[in-house]
A and B are shown apart, each in its own frame.
Chain A
Amino acid sequence: MNALTSLLDDPVITQRVPEATLETLQMVGSSAALTFLLGLPLGLLLHTTSPGGLAPRRALNGVLGVVVNVGRSLPFIILAIAVLPFTRAVVGTTLGWEAAVVPLTLGAVPFFARLVETAVREVDPGKVEAARVMGSTRRTVVTQVLVREALPSLVSGATVTVIALVAYSAMAGAIGAGGLGFLAISYGYQRFETSVMVVCVVLIVVLVQLVQVVGDAVARRLDHR
């Protein structure tokens, strides 16, 4: 009880922690939305342009594959620093959670695109063939068969991606993005205020847990197999 009241007396915890939580939520939420928006088409393109896909384009597929692999092979912290000039050009600054959305999105898009590619590849080619025999256009095959049938896996992929973004956002905190990660580093590591760090860690764990539970529930609801 004593430990709890002392936590609630700490102004850092009562004021900075809620602010930082909000920053983390905004940072992760915005970059997740952008990642889905960009990663879904990229992943579908990776699949449909592959040999045996709906519209095989060997050269384009090769280029996309290399780009995605390069994006995925850079450790996030390096990527975030490397794209600082780009971030400044887009957002006008390199500080704050808005600026962090740029490297977070750039880091997560290739990751999510590969998950999308894997998910739609698992759709039985017989279903695609059945839709084509009905006279479906490619667009119909992609939206009504590939995406719709892979939806449970796509939601699972999105869940994994959001959790990865939470982890990345803590790293982004180290280079000025704010959020719970920044708080944990600046108070817990640089000022030895262990209690602040513990609170931040607990909040991050709760956030990840929440995302996982919600993601699993949605995926289960969509799955009629």
Chain B
Amino acid sequence: MIELSDLRKVYPGPAGDVVALDGIDLVVERGAVHGVVGRSGAGKSTLIRCLTGLERPTSGRVVVDGTDISALPEQRLRAARRRMGMVFQHVNLLDSRTVAANVAFPLEVAGTPRAERSGRVRELLELVGLGDKAGAYPAQLSGGQRQRVGIARALATEPAVLLCDEPTSALDSATTRQTLGLIRDLRDRLGITVVIITHEMAVVREICDSVTLLEHGRVVQDGSLAEVVTDHGSRLARELIPVPDLPLGPSRALVEVTYATDEVSTHDALAAVAALGRDVEVVAGTIETLAGLRVGRLQLEVPAAHVDDVIARLTADRLHAAPTVAGDPTDRTDPADPRGATGEVAA
């Protein structure tokens, strides 16, 4: 459905060129919800702007629904854009138009006859649960309602692809869940392909089937949610199942244990940890159900002298154990070799 190959975007600048995207390869299957995560400046926004053709790639191909966006002349690009819907962080509704007129706007742009428009608008507002707000102005709505109007507008021309740029970053957590639930529901009912740009791991946990981690304009890790969470110790696995940093007693060390129910059940994992004896303490832990798997990550505090022994015994029980790496896991990677850290673990 969406295929990026060797996508590069370089902005010439007075202090030398700025490489925003540095050879991105990415495939999103039809009907999937795909997350693109990374810090600000990682190239997420440039990526989505290349998908809409608002930004022309320096090189590489951007194929959406069988059309190479990067090669289209302006007029055909406008037609191709009507096959995409986009949801924005700040929604970007027109304040001068009512809710219904906002949803009708893309239909006007696409030249849909007036008679057809009003029926379609009513249908879309029902779809996002705002059938009673047709005559309201955006200023009269809450943030979550505005974003639902934004989603209805994005779906107006029955696009094959829904692009979401930080759709929930301006919303509170309850509204975030509602909005993500709506997007997932729409995917299930309409079979639409969804790409979500976000910096929130909670969004990925909640809704994504697959995920790409971007850093410095490159793909650091990529795969289905099940793949990345069972890639024990990898960047995305650690960020999707977070445990807090902990203070450490004298002559004690931290060992991190991870497992997923594709290999070991939670029961067996906890039994293996209990078998280590009273000297080993579980100081933090997270168990989540992601992509149909139960995945867990535990921090064990062990006597510093026994670290190797503990790791050997846990490994024998088919658990993944390693000394805990202090600090923010996202800082572990050497920027010169973005694939280094995760490559080893995956091997």
Give residues in A with beta carbon < 8 Å to B: 124, 126-127, 129-137, 140, 144-145, 148-149, 151, 222, 224-225
Chain A residue, CB-CB nearest to B81: A135
B92 touching A124, Cβ below 8 Å: yes
Known contacts A126-B88, A225-B139; A131 and B96 CB within 8 A of each other: no
CB contacts between A and B, total, < 8 Å: 62
Chain A residues with Cβ below 8 Å from B81 are 132-135
Apart from A132-B54, A224-B96, what are 14 other A-B pairs with CB-CB below 8 Å?
A124-B90, A127-B93, A132-B81, A133-B54, A134-B82, A134-B106, A134-B157, A135-B82, A144-B94, A144-B105, A148-B94, A148-B97, A149-B94, A224-B95
B105 touching A134, Cβ below 8 Å: yes
Chain B residues with Cβ below 8 Å from A135 are 78-82, 106, 109-110
- Least distance between A169 CB and chain B CB atoms (Å): 32
Chain A residues with Cβ below 8 Å from B105 are 131, 134, 144
A58, B128: Cα distance in complex, Å: 44
A133, B94: Cα distance in complex, Å: 14
A140, B157: Cα distance in complex, Å: 17
B64-108 vs A, Cβ < 8 Å mask (1 yes, 0 no):
000000000000001111101010101011111100000001101
- Least distance between B126 CB and chain A CB atoms (Å): 21
B84 touching A133, Cβ below 8 Å: yes
A133 touching B52, Cβ below 8 Å: yes
- Least distance between B24 CB and chain A CB atoms (Å): 20
Known contacts A135-B79, A135-B110; A224 and B139 CB within 8 A of each other: yes
B109 touching A151, Cβ below 8 Å: no
Residue in B52, B90, B96 whose CB lies within 8 Å of A126: B90
A225, B106: Cα distance in complex, Å: 21
A55, B117: Cα distance in complex, Å: 30
Chain B residue, CB-CB nearest to A140: B109
A134, B84: Cα distance in complex, Å: 8
A126, B81: Cα distance in complex, Å: 16
Known contacts A133-B84, A144-B105; A149 and B96 CB within 8 A of each other: yes
B78 touching A224, Cβ below 8 Å: no
Across the A-B interface, give the 9 residue pairs with the lowest CB-CB distance, nearest first: A130-B92, A126-B92, A135-B81, A135-B78, A224-B137, A134-B106, A135-B82, A133-B86, A225-B95
Chain B residues with Cβ below 8 Å from A133 are 52, 54, 81, 84, 86
A129 touching B95, Cβ below 8 Å: no
- Least distance between B112 CB and chain A CB atoms (Å): 12
Using a CB-CB cutoff of 8 Å, which residues 157-198 of chain B contact chain A? 157
Chain A residues with Cβ below 8 Å from B95 are 149, 224-225
Chain B residue, CB-CB nearest to A151: B96
Chain A residue, CB-CB nearest to B79: A135
Chain B residues with Cβ below 8 Å from A136 are 78, 109
Chain B residue, CB-CB nearest to A141: B109
A225, B81: Cα distance in complex, Å: 28
- Least distance between A39 CB and chain B CB atoms (Å): 21
Chain B residues with Cβ below 8 Å from A149 are 94-96
- Least distance between B54 CB and chain A CB atoms (Å): 6
A148, B94: Cα distance in complex, Å: 9
B96 touching A222, Cβ below 8 Å: yes
A140, B78: Cα distance in complex, Å: 12
Known contacts A145-B94, A148-B94, A149-B95; A130 and B86 CB within 8 A of each other: yes
Chain A residues with Cβ below 8 Å from B139 are 224-225
Chain B residue, CB-CB nearest to A152: B96
A136, B78: Cα distance in complex, Å: 7
A149, B138: Cα distance in complex, Å: 13
Chain A residue, CB-CB nearest to B83: A135
Using a CB-CB cutoff of 8 Å, which residues 16-69 of chain B contact chain A? 52, 54
- Least distance between A133 CB and chain B CB atoms (Å): 5
Chain A residues with Cβ below 8 Å from B97 are 148
27 residue pairs of the A-B complex, CB under 8 angstroms, read A124-B90, A126-B90, A126-B92, A127-B92, A127-B93, A127-B94, A132-B54, A132-B81, A133-B52, A133-B54, A133-B86, A134-B81, A134-B82, A134-B105, A134-B110, A134-B157, A135-B79, A135-B81, A135-B106, A135-B110, A144-B94, A144-B108, A149-B94, A149-B95, A222-B96, A224-B138, A224-B139
Known contacts A133-B86, A134-B105, A140-B109; A148 and B96 CB within 8 A of each other: yes
A14, B106: Cα distance in complex, Å: 59
- Least distance between B275 CB and chain A CB atoms (Å): 57
A117, B84: Cα distance in complex, Å: 31
Chain A residues with Cβ below 8 Å from B52 are 133
Chain A residues with Cβ below 8 Å from B79 are 135
